[in-house]
Each structure stands twice: as structure tokens, then as C-alpha cells.
Amino acid sequence: MTQRSAMRPAGRLGAAGLLLLSLCSHAAEPVRPDAGTILDTVKEPPAQKRPSTGIEIPPARPRMEAPAGIKVLVKGFRISGNTLFTDAQIQPVLDEFVGNELDFDGLDEAVRAVTSFYRSKGYFLAQAYLPRQQLSSGIVEIHVLEGHVGKVHSKQGPSARLKPWIVEGYLRRIEQGAIATEQGVERPLLLLGDLPATTVQSTLGPGANVGEADLTVEIGDDGRRVTGVVEAENYGNKYAGAIRLNAQVFANNLLGLGDQLSVRGLIAKDKLTDVAGLSYSMPVSYWGTKAGFSFAHMNYELGGSLADQRASGDADLASILVVHPFIRTRGFNVFGQLTGELKELEDRVAAVGSLEQRRIKSVRLGVFGDLRDLFLGGGLNTFAVSVTRGNLDLLNEELVENDALSFQTAGRFDKINIDLQRVQRITDNLHALGRFSYQSASKNLASVEKMSIGGPFGVRAYPVGEGLADDAAIWSIEGRYTLPGFKPFKSDVTLAAFVDGAQVRRFKSPNPTFDVDPATFEPNENDRTLWGAGVGIRVGRVGDFSVSADFAWRIGSELPTSDVPRHPQFWMRAVTWF
């Protein structure tokens, strides 16, 4: 055995002893956040809502005129012109009319029921009508024009900056002569309307043949070449600056290609944290696919009761992504996203001469979207599911040794994330919101890959950085009531009450030797359950500004470990768009 190899076990024991001593000596103090923990609190400001693009659909075919007083004892219906659905599929919507004596208004209701059936299936040009016929037999014929696309015309408005060949490329997705469906006709128009600063006005008019409609699309520019958002909030980590100012500026349709360039910056109180970022995206196919890249850099230093440690660090992020719309309608959308990401993190503690450097490479495949429905008065569902595979490299020898002896985060990892939310309409002024988030990992993760349980996006009764976990589930139920008739500054005022909960597994594979209570030297609990409840207020005007405040109280005996207990925990945010 060489002298070097003989010394290595002793070196490892020494590293383990120093690591354990450090954990115990500082455990009575607040947990020191690192670059990954702080980076988790840096999120983009909320996006401004844009008006939805639609099509001016011609009204249903006018009903036929008939002599006043005509009545028919309806024995049944005969459907003609239908190729998409069989008689048996259509007849159930007419069953309520069979056996009744109907006047012409009653027959017209039956016709409209057939039209509504087609349009509910996405065939929005379909029209049913009563053809000329003898009604003495009691069998009523309803003819269906299923609606075919005629010619497609495009016009460039005087302010339009989007290149005409891009517009033509999108409109070629509309197949002339085909039966018009939401996916076939509305999809390309919505995708054009999704492009920055682009307006789309679409009208359908009579075509050359019976049952056809010509489509005219006018492309314009909304005049908003530069837009942005400014946000002030207290969502940061206490020791890295809780109060922060965040801004993002967008240059829209910069090259006339439907592209967008954005620059963002964040600065925390006392300049403890600052972030700068740049991103660019553009369409890369006429099917709505977009590709983009982004870069960001973050610096931080710790203050407050941790200032004596002289801890600081930085993070660099680079990513490329591709997003594709699999389904794009006004009521249902499904997008796929593929993201490759590189994170380089460095943490320094000058008081003890510590340096930790990490590099994470990962690929994430995800699906996200939304669905509007009419269930119990109507609701909006949003969903996101992603799978991540990555690799963590530890870049300095001491960190490698400490990690091998403790939580073994280095190497390949996998994780799955699920986010579900529903906003349920109860009345025009009262809504309920339910939210569920979940993460499961294959092994112990670095802090930047863990799920944060506390803070304004988790259990609001606990501070930012609380309950960092490899495996976790968070749920929330919230009621929101918009005050009727009370509109200061022409804005809506909404009161909220909520309950949050979470189940946390801090480490996928706990190591009790290096995770102990400093008072008893007993292993810390690896599984935690957190509960909180609170009230809030939101004041805002859509697309202009929003101000919100939440007060949350803990439920149960679980005390925070990342900060001193606060009762209540207070969160505020003010956002303005321009």
C-alpha cells in the first residue's frame, strides 16, 4: 500500500469529522441558503394577458318562412347531407321533439339543436335547415350543410410588420375544400395571433358553392413594439434580500419573423442579490413550433445574522428549448416542450475558507396546457407534467469527498414534476381554486433541483426555502370573492381565504449521521407534514396592474427551520405592465 493510499482513509475521516462538526455547530443557527436555494426564488414576473384571436362566424342559416298557424304532429326526423355523423348519432338531440305537435318555431328549435350538435363537436361552419318538403306524413327532413372551406385570402394591414411569406405559410395549413373544424381552420389563426405584436382579424363569407365559406384574414400590428413588466415583492430569501425589484422588457417581432427578445433584471434590498438575463425565441415551422435560448447570471451574498460568515456565490444558467402546440383551440390547448439546461453554481464562505462548485447538465421533456369546460357553471383547468434527467458534477475535491460520505448527490438523477390547477366558477363574483404540485426524485438531489415547500408559491405560512425536498406534494384550496360595484381606479377588488398543505420527504435516501438535531444529537425527521391557512386581498385591472397581499398562519406544531417563526407570515406583490 502506498503512502498516498494509506493516508486517504484518514483524510476522508477528517473530512467527515469537519463536515459533521460544521453541521452541528451551525445547526442552531438558521440554515444557510446556497446558490441553488436562492436561484429557486428567482422567477419571471407574471406575463401580460393578450386578447384571444377569434373568427367572425356567420350566424346559423335563417329559418324558412311558413304560413302562420301551421302545426305538425312530428312522428320522426329524417337527416340528409350528413357524412360526419350517422343518423343514429344525431337522433338523440331530436328525441324530445318526437311525438309533439310543433308549430314552425318548434321545428326551428329542432333544426338549431342539430346545428348546435355539430358546432359542439368543433364543426363551427355546420348549419342545419328545413328544405322544401311536404309535412303531411309527420316525418320531418332536416338537411345539414357540414361546412366546407372555400378560398383563403390574406391581407397585410398598413401597420403589419410580420413577413407576408410567414402568413402564407401558416394559412397553407388550412386545406381548401375540406370540412371546416376548429383544429383545421382556427388553429393556424390562433397560432398567428400568438406571435408577438401581431393582430389577426378573420371573417368568413359566402363561398362560390353551396355549403362553402371563404376565409379572409387581415394581419396587423398592435403597435406595441416594446412591452414590459415591473414587479416589486418580498418573495426573496430573508438572508439574501427578501424585498426585491424585478423588471423584464420585450422587443416584439423584432425582425418581422414573429420573434421576441427579452432582457430582465432583478435586484434585492441592500444589493444582496442581483440577476441579469437575456432570452430570444422565434417560430421555426408553420405548424407553430418555436425555438429559443436564454442566459442568466446571478450574484448573491448573505446578510442579517449570517453576515459574519461572509458567504457569497453566483450562478450561471444557459438553456435551449423547443415548444410545439399539439392542440391549439380557444377552449383546449396542449403544448410539448423539450429543454436542455446547463447550471454552474459556486458558493463561498470566507469565514471558514470554504469553496463549493457544482455543474448540472439536464434535459427536460414536458407537456403543459389548459382546458375550459362548463362543469358546474364553468371552470379553467391548467396542467403541466415534466420528466427531467440530469447529471451533477462536483468540481472541487473537498466537496466530492464530503458528498461521498454524506448525501451522495453527485452523478445522474431523474425526477418527475406534476402541476395541476382548477379555477371553478360558482357565481359571477365567487370562484374556488384548487392546486396540486408533486415531485418525485430517483435519488438525493442538489438544492437547486429540490422542491421548495414554503413561500408564496407553496405553504404560505412558512418562509421561503422551507422544507426543501427530493419528494414532495403540495396542495391548496382557495376561495375568491370579487366585491360587486366596488371598483377603485376602475379595478376589481377580490378577497381570498385559503388552506395550504404539504407532505415532504427531505432526502430520498437519508443519512442520519449527517442530519442530526444539535440539541439531542438524534436524527432529524426526514418526513414532515406542513399546514397553513390565511386570508388575502387582490386589487387589479387586467393588463394594467395588480397588487396582492396574503397573511398566513401555521396550523399544527411544525416550526420553520429556515427562519425564525413568524405569526402571521406576510407576502406582498405589486405588478404593472406597459
- Please list the rounded mean pLDDT of every run of 10 residues in the chain (578 residues): 37 41 45 82 72 56 58 90 91 91 88 91 84 84 87 86 92 85 83 91 78 84 90 93 95 94 94 94 95 96 90 95 93 95 95 93 97 90 97 92 88 97 95 97 95 94 91 97 90 96 93 66 83 96 92 93 85 95
What is each CA distance from 40 to 43, 200, 391, 396, 453, in whole angstroms? 7, 37, 18, 23, 11
Q: Look up residue 575 and give its three cell numbers.
A: 405588478
H or E stretch at 404 = helix 397-405
Classify each residue of 316-351 as buried b or exposed e, where b means 16 or more C-beta atoms within 10 Å of its C-beta.
ebebebbbbbeebbeebbbbebebebebbbbbbbee
CA angle 181, 189, 425 (to 5 degrees): 75
Q: Look up residue 525 and give its three cell numbers.
A: 425527521
What is each CA distance from 390 to 94, 204, 334, 339, 510, in whole angstroms? 57, 49, 25, 11, 21
Quick check: 312 and 300 in contact, CB under 8 A? Answer: yes
Q: Which residue's entry shows cell 414532515?
A: 528
Backbone phi, then psi, for 217, in 5-degree steps?
-120, 120
**Which numeric CATH code is attached to 148-221?**
3.10.20.310
Strands 71-73 and 545-555, how do they pair? unpaired
Quick check: 476 and 487 in contact, CB under 8 A? Answer: no
Per DSSP, helices labelled H in 504-570 are none
H or E stretch at 399 = helix 397-405
Tell me the three state secondary structure of residue 515: coil
Q: Look up residue 135 and give its three cell numbers.
A: 309535412
What is the spatial distance between Cα 525 and Cα 529, in angstroms, rounded to a whole number? 11
pLDDT score, position 130: 87
CA angle 306, 312, 317 (to 5 degrees): 135
Residues 6+ apart with CB under 8 A from 244: 232, 233, 234, 235, 236, 266, 267, 268, 269, 273
Quick check: 230 and 576 in contact, CB under 8 A? Answer: yes
**Which numeric CATH code is attached to 66-145?**
3.10.20.310
pLDDT score, position 68: 59
Instruction: Name the segment(s) of the chain with CATH classification 3.10.20.310.
Output: 66-145, 148-221
Helix (H), strand (E), coil (C) string for 414-447:
EEEEEEEEEEEECCCCEEEEEEEEEEEECCCCCH
pLDDT score, position 554: 96
Q: What is the pTM of this model?
A: 0.82
